[in-house]
């Protein structure tokens, strides 16, 4: 049970919560069908630095597009992909979490058109091929080995106690679905994420360039409700984009637990709080559980 977790307040709070909601004779008992746990993905279940895994996948496509069309090489984000200078991309994400979407807008526009009019099965095949060979740029390991061992143990621990676990992420739904079963044991039907629209033609579904939704911030609780139909009692995230999902979980009528992963281990992973400042302030104010990678995890990645 949670073998890669150090003995300490974070592990104790998780175990105490699970025991309380599964004790049929206790005042905080929750029926199994209502034991819903939701997890962000990037930075919560797998590594998100120095850039999102999906962004690496997309950058390769942006570079292909810039190589085919020289006019794109002076426009962002194609310029960053073509030149290999990714500073602009990191700044765009940081500005987004600080409330400034000036640079996020051209990035989203490029994302929406990167794989326009591709069949959904063909798109899934491209993603699977990416994961077969792509390596993390600094950790020298496959992306498929960049999931956090303690979080996978937490998923199994919750499921062993009759929780149903979901991913509710700002990442692309159809980017995550081909790999979540192998990485986390979560099947594609329990993955909620951002998405482009789909169109039906001649017996097949194809991607469009029309955004369906960006599953971040206040959209997260709306999307999880539309997909799950229940308010979670357990929620885990790591950034300002998870605040509303954590608040939605906290404001239910019964017991709940909110958890933030704190990236403070430069030796084994990364050390940063950029994009998580407000979430950490709220964690202190509201008593949310903060999990320190340095202090609370004896292992980070699979060997």
Q: Average model confidence (pLDDT) for the chain?
A: 95
pLDDT at 104: 84
As a whole number, mean pLDDT of residues 27-32 equals 98
Which CATH number is associated with domain 9-49+141-296? Answer: 3.40.50.1000
pLDDT at 161: 98
CA proximity to 291, closest of 257, 267, 253: 257
pLDDT at 31: 98
pLDDT at 103: 87
pLDDT at 180: 97
Question: What CA–CA distance (Å, rounded) separates 20 from 287?
Answer: 17
pLDDT at 54: 94
- Beta-bridge partner residues of 259: 236, 289
DSSP characters over 177-233: HHHHHHHHS--GGGEEEEEEEEEEETTEEEEEEEEEE---TTHHHHHHHHHH-S--S
pLDDT at 60: 94
Which pair of tokens denotes residue 102?
């000036």
pLDDT at 108: 84
Ranges 57-66, 94-103, 134-143, 181-190: which has the least confidence: 94-103
DSSP characters over 121-162: HHHHHHHHHHHHH-B-TTT-SBGGG-B-HHHHHHHHHHHHTT
> CA separation (Å) from 212 to 102, 215, 255?
20, 9, 33
pLDDT at 5: 98
Q: Are 122 and 205 in contact (CB under 8 A)?
A: no
pLDDT tens-digit readout, 11-22? 999 999 999 999
* Distinct helix (H) and strand (E) counts, the chain: 12, 8
As a whole number, mean pLDDT of residues 277-287 equals 97
Q: Are 4 and 149 in contact (CB under 8 A)?
A: yes
In a 13 Å sphere around the CA of 298, the CA atoms on its Cβ side amount to 9
Phi, psi of 299 (to 5 degrees): -135, 145
pLDDT at 270: 97
pLDDT at 96: 78
- Cα 232 to chain centroid distance, Å, stands at 16
In the structure, what pLDDT confidence band is assigned to residue 171 with cuts at 50, 70 and 90?
A: very high
pLDDT tens-digit readout, 82-133? 998 888 887 887 787 778 888 888 988 898 899 999 999 999 999 999 999 9
Ranges 8-22, 70-84, 94-108, 265-279: which has the least confidence: 94-108
pLDDT at 112: 86
CA proximity to 255, closest of 95, 16, 94, 90: 16
pLDDT tens-digit readout, 229-248? 999 999 999 999 999 999 99
Question: What CA–CA distance (Å, rounded) separates 38 from 192?
Answer: 10
pLDDT at 260: 98
In the structure, what pLDDT confidence band is assigned to residue 251 with cuts at 50, 70 and 90?
A: very high
pLDDT at 8: 97
As a whole number, mean pLDDT of residues 48-72 equals 94
* Residue boundaries of the structural domains of the chain: 9-49+141-296, 53-114
pLDDT at 214: 84
């Amino acid at each position: 049970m949670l073998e890669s977790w150090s003995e300490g307040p974070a592990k104790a709070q998780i175990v105490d919560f699970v025991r309380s909601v599964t004790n049929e004779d206790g005042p905080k008992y929750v029926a199994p069908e209502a034991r819903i746990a939701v997890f962000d993905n990037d930075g919560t279940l797998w590594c998100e630095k120095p850039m999102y895994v999906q962004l690496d996948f997309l950058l390769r496509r942006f570079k292909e597009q810039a190589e085919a069309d020289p006019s794109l090489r002076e426009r962002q984000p194609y310029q960053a992909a073509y030149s290999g200078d990714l500073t602009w991309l990191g700044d765009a994400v940081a500005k987004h979490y600080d409330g400034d979407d000036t640079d996020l807008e051209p990035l989203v526009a490029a994302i929406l058109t990167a794989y326009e009019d591709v069949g959904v099965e063909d798109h899934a095949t491209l993603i699977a091929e990416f994961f077969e060979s792509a390596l993390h740029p600094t950790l020298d390991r496959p992306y498929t080995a960049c999931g956090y061992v303690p979080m996978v143990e937490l998923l199994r621990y919750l499921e062993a106690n009759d929780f149903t676990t979901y991913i509710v992420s700002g990442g692309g739904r159809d980017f995550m679905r081909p790999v979540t079963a192998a990485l986390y044991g979560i099947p594609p039907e329990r993955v909620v994420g951002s998405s482009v629209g789909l169109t039906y033609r001649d017996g097949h579904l194809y991607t469009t360039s029309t955004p369906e939704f960006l599953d971040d911030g206040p959209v997260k609780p709306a999307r999880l409700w539309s997909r799950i139909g229940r308010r979670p009692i357990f929620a885990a995230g790591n950034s300002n984009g998870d605040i509303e999902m954590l608040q939605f979980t906290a404001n239910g009528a019964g017991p709940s637990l909110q958890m933030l992963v704190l990236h403070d281990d430069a030796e084994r992973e990364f050390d940063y709080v950029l994009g998580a400042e407000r979430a950490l302030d709220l964690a202190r104010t509201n008593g949310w559980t903060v999990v320190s990678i340095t202090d609370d995890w004896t292992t980070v990645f699979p060997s």
